[in-house]
Amino acid sequence: MEVKKSIPNVTAINAGKVTLGFLNILEFHIVFVETKKGEDSPTQRAKPRQSYIAYPLLRSAIFRPTPPTSGQQSSIRLQTRDFTFITFNFETESRARGAFECLRTYGCRLASIDKLYAFSYKAPPQERGCNGWEVYNPRAEYRRQGISDKLPDKGWRISTINKNYTFSPTYPELIVVPSSISDNVLKYAGTHRSRARIPALSYLHPVNNCSITRSSQPHVGITRKRSLQDERLVAACFSAIHLGPSASQVEITTYPESELSETEKAEDNLIASADACYDEKTGKRVVYGAQQSNLIVDARPTLNAAAMQLVGKGSENMDFYKCAKKAFLYIANIHVMRASLDQVFKALQDADISPLPPSRELLNASGWIGHIMNILDGSALIARQVGIHHSHVLIHCSDGWDRTSQLSAMAQIMLDPYYRTFEGFIVLVEKEWLAFGHNFQRRSGILGHEDWFKIQNDAMAGSTIQPGENEGQGDGDRMFRTMVSATRRFLKQPSQADEIVSDDDLESVSSNSKSSANGQRLTVLKEISPVFHQFLEATQQLVRQCPNRFEFNERFLRRLFYHTYSCQYGEFLYNSEKDRKEAQVAERTSSVWDYFLSRRDMFTNKQYDDTIDDTVRGKERLLFPNMKDIKWWHELYGRTDEEMNVTKSAVNHKDAIAAGKEFAESPKTTGEPGTLIVRVETESGAYQDNQPSTSQIEPLGVTSTASDGPSTSNSENPVINTPSPRDSEAEQRSEDQETPPAPVPSPLPVPHKSVLAGVESAHGALIPEMRPQVAKKGAPSPTIGASDESLVDGISSLASVGGSKQPSTPGSGANTPRSTGKKKADTSSYMDQEMTTIG
């Protein structure tokens, strides 16, 4: 691969460590090649250490020019999505500026997905021996679940209503629906669901035939519209029975905290309840009947669901879905998750110039761990309903491709050991994330954005970088921004500017942001969000807590996180199955699963035990998280466990609530905060867990030499299996010129086990409560009646309510002393042609 620019005598600073070397700028990566004093070029060293950074991984590049008389070197300070923090110092301002302009040019590909690395990458022989594109076959997966034309009818069928993606462009081509529902009914039901994402099967339990289905929100609106076809479809999914009118809102069984969080005790409930699942007269096992508690899970806070009624959407009126109850999970929207991760980055931002630990106060205030807990808690609720209470569950959020994917996939991991295997997890990601239309391109921002490349104000020149100083502000890049702005306006397609309401915050989003007639796309900052990142973090919690129940290891998840942003493979470049087929991704790019399957030993858990026996502790089929043991994924953040996690008892519950509340009320936060931070973990000193690879750069090409395997040479296109994964981010913005409506503030999340706050009245009207009340233990959930008029009045007053600022309480952990001890990372080499970070 041709080196576009090579700059000598560049000093790299990472974790306070200074390294001298060459900075080579390639078309798809920047490469820092370490040298020693006295070496004129990296070729003088037999196996120089190289550090690769793929451009799509960049989340911030700050150029800091300095005048020659200042005595200070000009620098470029980088942050990447995989939590790499590096500062490059240059001998002259002109060299630094030239490097920055190259970074901005290659890192800001405004509209061309087909110019990303995946379309140029040539897989090595070991990867070409695999075919990751064929690992997931939807018919085979549903056949595994017992659904096929050649098998006895289990109440479900595979529909081709979405052939050629004409029914719902964001859904998979094959969807599974109840056998009793015709395609004609589905067509009418599709008009009642956002983007025609009707309730479709995700998972069918092999023992009790209970299901997990998923959809988008219904078109209810203020007038409380209904659809007989949608009601019939949901009833068929639930094999419906009619419950009493008092069952319109779910009442979650309140187990002791330890019982809810420990796998063993949850399994005891399953075994102990087995007798109740048999009919006394016939002696046969009863699955459908009065003991069921079918559930409609709305992942959003109730306030968000109520606000969506203003634009004709909302949540189900349970008067018309008496076959089920409803639960709101209070999982925050994409904007809150993005802001939370920004706070995590802020806590870690000095990892380049300082070896000291990050701020525990900032980590606590981010609410990030609370968000992961909420996802796990909601997923466990779904898994219990299906696996223990023998009930059906329908999951949705707004569009049904973000929080819905998180909950559905995590619940299936808890329910089915197959998804804990190597191939099973791949199938799960393909099915729940890729096929069901998670917007990877929109959420990851892989095409870059001009706002991420900044020239720091020249008034700062001449001074040394200080901790916390990482926001570039200045006018030096005004011309570039003007040019980019003009390009963006040119790329817009006015004919496609039909506005839709954001899947979270009443924020106007143009459908143009997805694609245009010629396949051009733009990064929209407010559409970026770490949704898939959070799923991987939640999975890692289970992998850590249950070390012998997963066939893959933590390293597999970390590497998958990295390749979500590397753009080296084709899976994560587009927003839907339809987009990938139209772009012929399978024919034009390599599969990321080729990478993992060809290095299976590297990512296999040596402790894995595939024995399933519900009578033996630790070998049960069901798997639930221990909510008292949720910790920071320290390997992902490039830290040691001692630096990231509190080893003492969990943080006080009230302090955790206060920390989440304080973050929610920050001026930068729009929407609801993270959930209860039941345990706030901490961090300290930086460390890199990558084993240095041995590679050598030639003048006009790159030849990578594996540190732990056979070498592969390709001067035209090297195999770049880049550094260890670190972070993702998120946003969503309107491409329209109008200012989108301000987001509606939302309540502090409360664990659904305590009480479901924004309840529905007996006749189904949503009550937009700003501060959900927590019911005392044993007390029934409050039921509040309200007319349609009161609902509208309540929503109309949200703007004034949201404007009031509540006093905040400092979060816990503020006075905890920082650890300054550093622990050496695992130095096992990653893979063939592994690229490393510096430090």
The annotation status of 400 as a binding-site residue, yes or no, is: yes
Q: How far apart are CA 237 and CA 392, in angstroms?
A: 8
| Catalytic residue check, 237 | no
Helix 368-387 to helix 334-348 angle, to the nearest 10 degrees? 130
Q: Output the CA–CA distances (angstroms, integers) from residue 713 to 131, 181, 510, 697, 832, in the order listed.
A: 22, 56, 45, 11, 11
Q: How far apart are CA 438 and CA 168, in angstroms?
A: 14
The annotation status of 397 as a binding-site residue, yes or no, is: yes
The annotation status of 375 as a binding-site residue, yes or no, is: no
Q: For CA atoms 307, 308, 313, 318, give the dihedral sign.
A: negative
The annotation status of 333 as a binding-site residue, yes or no, is: yes
The annotation status of 717 as a binding-site residue, yes or no, is: no
Helix, strand, coil abundance in the chain, percent, nearest 5: 35, 15, 50
Q: How far apart are CA 487 and CA 479, in angstroms?
A: 12
Which residues partner with 78 through β-bridges?
A: 61, 86
Q: How far apart are CA 537 and CA 637, in angstroms?
A: 11
The annotation status of 285 as a binding-site residue, yes or no, is: no
The annotation status of 277 as a binding-site residue, yes or no, is: no
Which residues partner with 18 through β-bridges?
A: 13
Among 478, 477, 459, which Cα is nearest to 469's?
A: 459
Q: What one-character-per-residue DSSP string does 170-216 give?
A: TS-SSEEEETTS-HHHHHHHHTTBGGG---EEEEE-TTT--EEEE--
Residue from 108, 210, 323, 397 carrying the catalytic annotation: 397
Q: Output the CA–CA distances (angstroms, integers) from residue 373 to 89, 537, 545, 625, in the order listed.
A: 40, 10, 14, 9
Rounded to 5 degrees, what are φ and ψ at 259?
Answer: -70, -35
Burial degree of 634 (CB within 10 A; 0-12, 13-18, 19+): buried
Among 735, 698, 729, 723, which Cα is nearest to 713's?
A: 698
The annotation status of 399 as a binding-site residue, yes or no, is: yes
> Which residue has tokens 């300054």?
820
Burial degree of 160 (CB within 10 A; 0-12, 13-18, 19+): exposed
Q: How far apart are CA 207 and CA 386, in angstroms?
A: 10
The annotation status of 398 as a binding-site residue, yes or no, is: yes
Two structure tokens written together for 344 = 């995590």
Residues in the annotated binding site: 333-334, 397-403
Active site residues: 397
Residues in the annotated binding site for substrate: 333-334, 397-403
